[in-house]
């Protein structure tokens, strides 16, 4: 199974954003992960359409946009226009999840759904076949550089079983506390896509770190 590494620009140096993105590309990053936070759903504020559009001009890599906002549907159109490839919304903010996923697809983007650490992945059981991406949070969303929550491993394994049983083709992504010490267990549990912020951008050689993480996802590593 292909392994995808998605550096999160939440940990990038924004004074040098263009260099940081170029570094991710040179290191073989598969996607760029963009964390949108509204200061309501999560206790932090980040960026919106303007930054998505800026990153879109800096790279041709897919943009993996993670919406940590209340009423995410308010932003679908502008984010799609700004160049989002995937938009992933929290089930905790989406009372009409199916409708919201369909709307994302209508706008020409890939549709993802994400569960917080305290939300069972079973909350997504009836939309398994509709998902292009299923994201399991392995920290409480809001900040980079938090510690990986160990119970996420079992949750990823359950998500893998549920996707396989539903013949779902969704990517299975994990976000939060991913680094050298955690990525392998998560990969073994069945994840194929790994967000990493702190582990990449605070590494001595960030470019090489992408490859280090990828190589840990193999039986022989
Ligand atoms: C957390 C964000 C993550 C964050 C991950 O709320 O959704 O994408 O950037 O950062 P690390 O990899 O440092 O835990
Ligand atoms: Zn994220």
Is the pTM higher than 0.85?
A: yes
Residue 177 Cα: closest atom of ligand 1 = 14
Residue 220 has a pLDDT of 73
* 175 in catalytic set: yes
Q: In what order do the strands lie in the sheet with 63-68?
A: 4-7, 193-196, 171-175, 133-137, 110-115, 86-90, 63-68, 32-37
Residue 135 has a pLDDT of 98
Measured between alpha carbons, how far is 129 from 208 in angstroms, rounded to an integer?
Answer: 36
Provide the pLDDT confidence category of residue 219 given band limits of 50, 70 and 90. confident
> In this predicted model, what pLDDT tens digit does every residue of 127-181 receive, in sequence order?
999 999 999 999 999 999 999 999 999 999 999 999 999 998 999 999 999 999 9
Residue 42 Cα: closest atom of ligand 1 = 6
* 171 in catalytic set: no
Catalytic residue among 30, 35, 64, 171: 35
């Amino acid at each position: 199974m292909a392994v995808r590494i998605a550096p999160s620009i939440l940990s990038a140096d924004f004074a040098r954003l263009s260099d940081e993105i170029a570094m991710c590309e040179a290191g073989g990053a598969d996607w760029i992960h963009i964390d949108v936070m509204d200061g309501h759903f999560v206790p932090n504020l980040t960026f919106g359409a303007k930054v998505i559009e800026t990153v879109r001009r800096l790279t041709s890599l897919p943009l993996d946009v993670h919406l940590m906002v209340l009423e995410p549907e308010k932003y679908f159109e502008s984010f799609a226009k700004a160049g989002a490839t995937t938009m992933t919304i929290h089930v905790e903010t989406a009372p009409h999840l199916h409708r919201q996923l369909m709307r994302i697809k209508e706008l020409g983007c890939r549709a993802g759904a994400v569960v917080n650490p305290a939300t069972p992945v079973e909350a997504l059981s009836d939309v398994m076949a509709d998902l292009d991406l299923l994201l399991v949070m392995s920290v409480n969303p809001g900040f980079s550089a938090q510690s990986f929550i160990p119970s996420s491993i079992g949750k990823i394994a359950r998500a893998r079983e549920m996707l396989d049983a539903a013949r779902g083709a969704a990517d299975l992504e994990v976000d939060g506390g991913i680094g050298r010490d955690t990525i392998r267990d998560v990969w073994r549990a069945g994840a194929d896509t790994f967000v990493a912020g702190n582990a990449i951008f605070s590494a001595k050689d960030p470019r090489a770190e992408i490859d280090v993480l990828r190589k840990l996802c193999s039986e022989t590593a």
